[in-house]
Amino acid sequence: MNSTLQNLIDQGINIGLKVLGAIALWVIGVWLIGLCMRLLTKSLERQKVDTTYIRYFVSGVRILLKVVLIVSILGYFGIQTTSFAALMAAVGIAIGAAWGGLLANIAAGAFLVFLKPFKVGDLISAAGILGTVREIGLFATTIDTLDNVRTYVGNNKLFSDNIQNFTTNPFRRVDLVAQLNHATDHHEAIKLLKERIAKIPNVLSEPSLDVEILQFNLAGPVLAVRPYCKNDNYWQVYFDTNRLIRESFGEAGFAVPEQHLVVRNRV
């Protein structure tokens, strides 16, 4: 009885030590992988490799090294790594057959990296998400939305959707409207806006500012107000132009737009 108890205690201690050793191996291994990834990133940056390529490549290497680490830890527990590798290959085939979307995401990620419809740092709109690209990974692309929410989108969903890249072209048009009263002289309003909006900081002189009648409604003419600016200045120009429209019309004493309805009584 004592011998059996002693054996159980020894086995428990042995298992406990192995578990502690496995935890230590995992912590040290993850730290080493992180260190290697930082060194690899710096090396590629010194060679002036595009940031998009760097992050995609580093993401793949990190996953591969973690798989190797897991296999090593299993080997430490006495599990045959060759059998484990064969098992993982079989599981991988089964997963690939059942979840083809994973393989599609990997393929789409490769196309995104090498065809470059966008790169890390670009402001894009795709798959219903508008934001700045932070990383193109093996399976998903990381995007920070305009309200600073980190969002992960499957590569295949991005690649199969329409992609708008707001960063590629050097400048962008700001589309706004200004409502006039029927009694307001639209020539005077257009001249006033063109003179004042042209003085807003970061509004480009070329292409030139557009201010024209866009449409009519029950309140009066609606002006299309379209200044151009560089991408980084878009929201500053957007807000400044909106504020200037309000202030300019107020200072000029333009009548407040009102809807005019004619009601006829039928006898």
Report all structural domains of the chain as residue ranges with CATH numbers, in order of start. Answer: 11-98 (1.10.287.1260), 108-165 (2.30.30.60), 171-252 (3.30.70.100)
For residues 253, 254, 256, 260, the Cα torsion angle rounded to the nearest 10 degrees is: 140
Q: Quote the radius of gyration of the chain (alpha carbons, Å).
A: 31
CA–CA separation, 159 and 154 (whole Å): 9
How many whole angstroms separate alpha carbon 186 and alpha carbon 14? 89
pTM above 0.75, yes or no: no
Whole-angstrom Cα distance, residue 129 to residue 126? 5
Residue 155 burial (CB count, 10 A)? 23
Q: What is the 3-state secondary structure (H, E, C) of 67-101?
A: HHHHHHHHHHCCCCHHHHHHHHHHHHHHHHHHCHH
Give me the tens of pLDDT residue by residue for the chain, a chain 267 residues long.
Answer: 566 666 666 666 776 677 777 787 788 878 888 888 788 777 777 777 777 677 777 777 777 777 777 777 777 666 655 555 565 665 556 555 545 567 788 888 888 888 889 999 999 999 999 999 998 888 899 999 999 999 999 999 999 899 999 999 999 999 999 999 999 999 999 999 999 999 999 999 999 999 999 999 988 999 999 999 999 899 999 999 999 999 999 999 998 888 766 666 665
> What is the structure's pLDDT at 81?
55
pLDDT score recorded for residue 51: 74
State the distance between the two ends of the chain, measured CA to CA, in whole angstroms: 113
